[in-house]
Structure 1
Amino acid sequence: MFDTKIAFIVRNDLAAWQRMNVVAFLATGIASAAPDIMGQPYIDANGHRYGNMAGQPMLVFEGDLAGLQKAHRIGLERELTLLPYVFPMFSTGFDEANREVFRAQDPHNLDLVGIVLRGSKKAVDKAIKGLSLHA
């Protein structure tokens, strides 16, 4: 049905609120980076108009830091649409500060707590190989 796949990966040692926060922020990022995934607005039986959501399924996986770093590396190699979230971003309060702490990270050893990948099914499957669906 879809030529592409969207996969979120969150670190398995985070508190529940952190996992949800990471996925929420990454979801906004993938919607911005790939606006073609967005469906039409929802309209209820009374004609009330609501916003639109992605029209493509998105899967959420979990893994340890090494698993996220591996998926990140493969995502870069395969030129997937990729958005990262690093641990120091939990301590900031606004977007500019998030970008500053991200920029300060070692690009070869990011302290990833979440990433989202989008691309061909085959390429995304390579990146998430060995990871489990989020429990």
Structure 2
Amino acid sequence: MRCQPFLGQSHLVLRDNLLGWQEGNVTAFLASAVTAAYPELVGEPYRDADGREYLPMLGTPVMVMVADGDRLASIRERADTRGLRIGVYTADLFATGNDVDNRAAVASVATEKLDLVGLAVAGERRVVDKVVKGARLHP
């Protein structure tokens, strides 16, 4: 499947019934998915007035949104049909403790059966906006 080039828009969509710690965890992992897929989006290191250097961050806005499980599934389907690169976080990943087990948990479930709790959608802004339609900004 051909993927769209990244032109400055990414959305993280979380399931709307997550606990606070789960929201933070899913957000962090999905932001890392965007960073891994598009390393050119990482800005320069930060420096304070004393010259101390801090880690660089994504240099583009990342919108965090919420949706129910059915909407997450439809967002994944719309992203697939448009050839967008996506990151997934499933409920099974809350019970794993490392990347190998995370990938095995996702690999053990068919696409349509994934229990999605979060998605990262990245691509051209007008396309991404259409794909995430129906999700709302995180409160």
Residue 110 of structure 1 and its aligned partner are, at CA, apart by 1.4
Q: Sequence identity, in percent?
A: 36
> Per-residue CA shift, 1:50-90, capped at 9, x if unaligned?
11001101000000111111111111111112100010011
Is residue 16 from structure 1 mapped to residue 27 from structure 2 by the alignment?
A: no
Is residue 55 from structure 1 mapped to residue 74 from structure 2 by the alignment?
A: no
Residue 29 of structure 1 and its aligned partner are, at CA, apart by 1.4
Aligned twin of 1:81: 85
Aligned twin of 1:72: 76
Task: Give the partner amino acid of 2:105.
Answer: V
Q: What is the TM-score with the length of structure 2 in the denominator?
A: 0.92
SS in 2 for 1:108: helix
The question of whether the paired residues in 2 share the 8 Å contact of 1:69 and 1:109 is answered with: no
> Per-residue CA shift, 1:96-116, capped at 9, x if unaligned?
011111011121231100010
SS in 1 for 2:59: coil
Cα distance in 2 for residues equivalent to 1:32 and 1:131 = 24
Cα distance in 2 for residues equivalent to 1:47 and 1:4 = 29
SS in 2 for 1:105: coil
Task: Give the partner amino acid of 2:76.
Answer: H
**Structure 2: gaps of 5 or more residues:** 1-5
1:1-135 equivalent positions in 2, closer than 5 A: 3-135=7-139
Q: What is the TM-score with the length of structure 1 in the denominator?
A: 0.95
Task: Give the partner amino acid of 1:10.
Answer: L
Residue 15 of structure 1 and its aligned partner are, at CA, apart by 0.6
Task: Give the partner amino acid of 1:73.
Answer: E
